[in-house]
Amino acid sequence: MCICCTSKCSSFKNMNQNCFNNIGDIIADANYITEKALLPLSAIRTESDKTRYEKKGYLIGYTYDEWPEKYPQIPRDNVYYVCGLNVGTVYYDKKNVVYLDLRIYGREMLSLGGKENYEETMLRAIHKQEEHSRKGEYGHLFLTMPDGIRMDAMNHLLDLEGPTERFYGNFMAQYATSNFLCKNISKRVLNALGKSKSDKQKAATQERLELLYSDKPVITVYRGEADGSTDYQKAMSWTPDINVAYFFATRLGKNAKIRIGKLYRKDVLEYFPADGDEGAEEEIITMPGKVKNVRTEYLLDADSEDVLRLAVGFMERYTFWRDETARLHEDADNSLNAHDALHAVRVLFLSMVLGAHEKLRPEEMEALCAAAVYHDIGRTHDGDELDHGRAGAEYYHNEATDVSPIAEAVIELHCAEKEAVEQELARRFSGRDLESAQKILRVLEDADALDRVRFGLFGMGSRDGLDVRRLQCDFARKLVPLAMQCLRGLSLGD
């Protein structure tokens, strides 16, 4: 992505190519392997079979008859080839829920202490997993599985364990800590969950819910989705924390969206608080279809028609102000990392998108750009610095050739207490100028807040990250994916 490369780009839409061709796609490929991607070794009988499946993406090393010649101690009927970028050949004993990566890619083996004792090493691992299976220590079995396989394996665990309290506990422990493809959950497993949950487990769930939702028979829940996500109508995972939904909507894939619905407390199957042992995010598990009155908020990135349409009108002025930002920061303190020139550029771009959406007049847009470029110029360090707005306003007043009183006020007040801001704006301006100052300040604050994605999302392991609940403009919420792309791709120029 090179949103800010120059106005000479052939089209704004082309500025976002390859943004999602990153390590996240590779990780997703590894984690989302399901049983459908497993090709049994028994299906490879001839060289023709090898060629046919290699064209489909499988890394085939041996035929069914060749395997015992090379690895006679590893039962070939439990050997599978995987269609994917990260795994070649695996061992999967479905009956005992034992899954191991054999570390073989085609005919190449990733050595585990030398080829001489490779089979002994793998057999010890298999036997250890079989022992865990016999003892009902199922958590150890799932540790070796990709997330997608775990859900398929629940069917086999149900065969092994039955609809017991232990089955329910294992299901929820794995579900809460994995990126499951919920659409792979069988109806058989879904039906077993309700029957498996003991009275003790039900009481524990209600006790956790009672702490936060004792007076709410209905809970507002959210779900973040993108390309490849399970559709909400088939999903079990929701959250009462909107920041969690934004995290899952924007971390991988495109076409991000937020689902918002209502759920009766009685329909909560399981609840994991944000500080629970099972995971960092607050999560509610319910049976598919239980969330009602669902509405959808579609999010926007650099490829979105809405963003493209808005950006076309301001790219030339953006380039001017971007270059102005680079000039102003030439002699800046290099100790500033979180509030450097790139932060100012990102806030500038996001401000202009928001300003265009709000239909700011040309003079208002210029004041906004000046405020975005200068808003942190008075900082001396990255920590709390309540007076940096005033210092920045003084710098702007002395530096700019055409000072806007509104821009100067916005720079000064963008980091002040809200009540004091309202009083000060009302003291300095009236009528249309007051409305402009209030609008420009609101836009700048939202753009500045959106760039907090550089710290992550609030509550997802970060206390300093973006909290979408604090955004003042509804449209700003839609721009979280765009803010993340700005973080990855905006620069100060060629």
Nearest one of 392, 373, 376, 379 to 322, comparing CA atoms: 373
pTM of the model: 0.82
Residue 196: per-residue pLDDT: 95
**Ordered domains of the chain (ranges, CATH):** 26-191 (no CATH), 198-298 (no CATH), 305-489 (1.10.3210)
Give the number of residues written for the chain.
494
- C-alpha 489/C-alpha 342 separation (Å) is 10
Is the separation of the CB atoms in 259 and 232 below 8 Å?
yes
pLDDT, average across residues 342-365: 97
Residue 115: per-residue pLDDT: 60
Residue 214: per-residue pLDDT: 83
Give residue-wise pLDDT tens across range 269-324.
Answer: 999 988 644 446 899 999 999 999 999 999 999 999 999 999 999 999 999 999 99
Q: How confident is the model at residue 31 (pLDDT cuts 50, 70, 90)?
A: low
Residue 478: per-residue pLDDT: 97
Whole-number mean pLDDT of the chain? 88
* Secondary structure in 3-state letters for 12-28: HHHHHCCCCCCHHHHHH
Residue 184: per-residue pLDDT: 75
Strand arrangement, sheet containing 237-238? 237-238, 283-286, 268-272
pLDDT, average across residues 222-245: 93
Residue 20: per-residue pLDDT: 37
Element (H, E) at 98: strand 98-105
**Sequence-distant (≥ 6) Cβ neighbours of residue 230 within 8 angstroms:** 181, 182, 183
Which residue is associated with the tokens 């900082």?
379
Give the least confident one: 156-160, 197-201, 415-419, 421-425.
415-419
Residue 380: per-residue pLDDT: 77
Is 80 exceeded by the pLDDT of residue 97?
yes
Residue 116: per-residue pLDDT: 66
- C-alpha 184/C-alpha 33 separation (Å) is 11
Is 60 exceeded by the pLDDT of residue 69?
yes
**Sequence-distant (≥ 6) Cβ neighbours of residue 222 within 8 angstroms:** 238, 239, 240, 241, 242, 244, 245, 258, 259, 260
Residue 348: per-residue pLDDT: 97
Strands (E), 200-317: 218-225, 237-238, 257-264, 268-272, 283-286, 292-298
Residue 180: per-residue pLDDT: 61
